[in-house]
Structures are given as C-alpha cells and as structure tokens.
Amino acid sequence: MIDLSGKIVLIAGASGGIGREVARYFADCGCDVALGFHTREAPARSAFDHALTLGRRALINQVDTSDIAAARAWVNEVIATLGHIDVLVSCTGAPLPEGFSLFAKQDPSTWRGMIEGQLLSFIYLCRPVIEHMLERRSGRVIALSSDGGKVGESGTAVVNAGNAGLIGFAKSLAREVGRSGITANVVCPGPIDGPTLDALRSGGDTGARIVDEMVRRVPMKRLGRATDIAATMAFLASDEAAYITGQAISVSGGLVMN
C-alpha cells in the first residue's frame, strides 16, 4: 500500500461504487477521512465504519456539493474538526435519469443537473479547498472524470461535456497553483465493473452485448475494478507524485492511450 499516514483527505461522492472504494483505500493507506454523500448513506457509512476499525479519524456528512454554499460550509466544518485538508478527492457524478440515451432524444430539463453534478460540484469544492491549501502552500486535488471526456461516448453527450470540463478546469488550476506546491490532476476510468455496468447488463441482451463489446475493445481483455482507480488516486496524493500535475490519466486497460 502507498503510505499516506497522517494525511487528511476530503472525499466527495463517497457513496458511489468508485467513491466508496476510494474512501476505503485511502483509509487503508493511513489517511484520516472526511466523507460526503448526497442521497445514499449506506455505502458511505460502510467506508466510514471501515476507517474507524483501522483507528482513523473519520467524519461523514450528507452534503449537496452542487450547492456552492453547502460545499463551502462542509469544507469549513472539516477544517474546523480535523485541522486541515491535505487532499481533495471528488468522485461526484451526474445523475442519468434516462440512462444511456442519444442526445437528440434526451429531455433538455435533465441537462443542468448533469453539468452541476459532473462539473460544478468539483469547482464549488475547489474554491474553499484551494484557498486553504494556498495558505498552507501544499495540497493535492484529484477529480474523477472519464475517458469519455477525452474521446466522446455515445449516449452520454452532456455528461461528457462535464467530464471534458473537469479536465480543462484541472489543467488551468494546475498552472495557477503549482508554484504553491499544489497539484491538480484528473483520473479518467474506462469501463469499470460495478453498479453502472450492472444496470446496463440488466437491460437485457442489448445491454449485455454492449458490455461484452467493451471488454473486447480493451487490450487487457477485462473490465476495470474500482480498486484500480483508488490506487491511482492514492499515488497522485502521495509525495512520490509531487511532480505530476495538470494530467488527465486514463485507467482503462489501454482502451484510451492519450
């Protein structure tokens, strides 16, 4: 395991399939954790309980990070309780009320929620965290995006507009704060086994064929695991990654190579 002993990490979106594993992984690496969830408490609570069993300090809060005031209040509470924040990890994602659907068939009323969940949540969290990190002249900022934000993906056009925005925002942020010892990076998963693909499989033969085609296209011939993403994020949070910033790192078994 990567040694992050004594680090304090704030993890938004700790109730998702990837977010929960990221939270557990950072606790395994020695971090104290502040976990945020929006609607589903149980997965985040399991990661919180895991951290406590390891003797870590842990907080858990329900928070809507797409609300700028709520995001700042949460950051302030974490700093007041745990002392500071070394690492911000955002695993928040956009809702897909219509599932995977072509842009021309989507209900336009769903678009704002997708952009708020995928992009603005991270921006709103970054502002108070970056202010804090600039004062300390150190920090790591990591966002969960998608390879779809690099190359596009049918059925998720608006969500991937948010994913591409995450990449552009992190690159610009990295240029602004690098001289203060702060890094900003984005992790871009390829197809990851978990709830999203389970839902796709449950859609019948068509969904199952889509998943099979994903595997066929991956050079490593398997789906990714949430731990693959968690390990990458933990490395980016470590001292060993101090000279890596402004990157959008694909974790996709070679499916995307740029």
Contact criterion met (CB below 8 Å) for 49 and 75: no
Predicted pLDDT of residue 122: 97
Domain of 27? 8-189+225-251
- Looking at the fold, whether 219 and 240 belong to one and the same domain comes out as no
Angle, alpha carbons 166-179-86 (nearest 5°): 65
d(CA 104, CA 39): 29
Question: What order of strands is seen across the sheet that includes strand 58-62?
Answer: 58-62, 32-37, 8-12, 87-90, 139-144, 182-189, 248-251
Give a yes or no: residue 2 inside a domain: no
Per the CB < 8 A criterion, the answer to whether 224 and 191 are in contact is yes
Sign of the C-alpha dihedral computed for residues 238, 239, 241 and 244 taken in this order: positive
Distance CA 16, CA 27 (A): 16
Spatial contact of 82 and 32, defined as CB atoms under 8 Å apart: yes
User: Is residue 3 a part of any domain in this protein?
Assistant: no
pLDDT at residue number 224: 87
- In a domain, residue 1? The reply is no
**What's the confidence (pLDDT) of residue 5?**
97
Q: Which residues of the chain have pLDDT under 70?
A: 97-98, 100, 199-200, 203-204, 206-207
- pLDDT on residue 190: 87
Q: How far apart are alpha carbons 100 and 125 in whole angstroms? A: 27
Q: pTM for the whole thing? A: 0.92
Supply the pLDDT for residue 228: 96
13 and 84, same domain (yes or no)? yes
Whether 22 and 146 share a structural domain: yes
Q: Are residues 199 and 146 in the same domain?
A: no
What was the pLDDT predicted at 227? 95
**54 and 129 inside one domain:** yes
Residue 207 has a pLDDT of 67
How many domains is the chain partitioned into structurally?
A: 2
Q: Does 141 share its domain with 212? A: no
pLDDT of 167: 97
**How far apart are alpha carbons 118 and 141 in whole angstroms?**
16
